[in-house]
Structure 1
Amino acid sequence: MAMVVLGAGGGLGRAITLELSKQYPDERIFALSRQPEVPETDSSDVTYCRIEDYDEKALGAWVSEFKNNGEQLSGVVSTIGMLHDEETFPEKKLTDITADNLNKLFSVNAVKPMLALKAFLPILDRKKTRFWVQLSAKVGSIEDNYLGGWYAYRSSKAGLNMLLKTASIELKRTHKNLIVAAIHPGTTDTRLSEPFQERISTDKLYSPELSAERIVAVVKNLKPENTGALWHWDGSRLPY
Structure 2
Amino acid sequence: MSLTKYAILIGASSTIAQAMGKQLLASESVHLILISSKQNPANEPRDTRVTPLICDYSPTDIERVLSDCDRVIDSKWQQVTQVFIFNGVLHSQQVMPEKRIEDVNASQLASMYHTNTITPFMFVSAVISRLDKQCCCRITVFSARVGSIEDNRLGGWYGYRSSKAALNMLLKTATIELKRRAKDCKIVAFHPGTTDTPLSKPFQKNVPQGKLFSPEFVARSCLQVTEALENDGELSYVDWQGKEIAF
TM-score bin (small chain): over 0.9
Question: What is the alpha-carbon distance in structure 1 between the residues aligned to residue 152 and residue 210 of structure 2?
Answer: 22
Question: What is the alpha-carbon distance in structure 1 between the residues aligned to residue 210 and residue 71 of structure 2?
Answer: 46
Q: Is 2:71 the counterpart of 1:64? A: no
TM-superposed CA distance for 1:137, in Å, is: 0.2
Q: Is 2:192 the counterpart of 1:195? A: no
Q: Map 1:157-172 to 2 at 5 A.
A: 157-172=164-179
Percent identity between the two aligned chains: 35
Q: Which ranges of structure 2 fall in alignment gaps of 5 or more residues?
A: none
Give the 4+ runs in structure 1 shifted more than 4 A.
38-44
Secondary structure in structure 2 of the residue aligned to 1:9: coil
Contact preservation (8 Å) 1:178, 1:227 = no
Contact preservation (8 Å) 1:12, 1:212 = yes
TM-superposed CA distance for 1:43, in Å, is: 5.1
Q: Is 2:38 the counterpart of 1:35? A: yes
Select between 36-45 and 54-63 the one with higher mean Cα deviation.
Answer: 36-45
Q: Map 1:99-118 to 2 at 5 A.
A: 99-118=106-125
Instruction: Provide the aligned C-alpha RMSD in A.
Output: 1.8
Deviations, residues 71-110 of structure 1 (Å, cap 9, x unaligned): 5422200001110112221001111101011111011111
Paired position in structure 1 for 2:7: 3
Paired position in structure 2 for 1:233: 240
TM-superposed CA distance for 1:44, in Å, is: 4.5
Question: What is the alpha-carbon distance in structure 2 between the residues aligned to residue 65 and residue 41 of structure 1?
Answer: 22
TM-score (norm: length of structure 2): 0.90
Say how many residue pairs are matched: 238
**For the structure 1 residues 176 and 131, does the alpha-carbon distance in structure 2 shift closer, same or farther, using more than 3 Å as the test?**
same
Question: What is the alpha-carbon distance in structure 2 between the residues aligned to residue 73 and residue 161 of structure 1?
Answer: 23
Question: What is the alpha-carbon distance in structure 2 between the residues aligned to residue 94 and residue 41 of structure 1?
Answer: 47
Secondary structure in structure 1 of the residue aligned to 2:186: strand
**For the structure 1 residues 74 and 7, does the alpha-carbon distance in structure 2 shift closer, same or farther, using more than 3 Å as the test?**
same
Question: What is the alpha-carbon distance in structure 1 between the residues aligned to residue 101 and residue 137 of structure 2?
Answer: 41
Q: Which ranges of structure 1 fall in alignment gaps of 5 or more residues?
A: none
Question: What is the alpha-carbon distance in structure 1 between the residues aligned to residue 172 and residue 246 of structure 2?
Answer: 12
TM-superposed CA distance for 1:135, in Å, is: 0.3
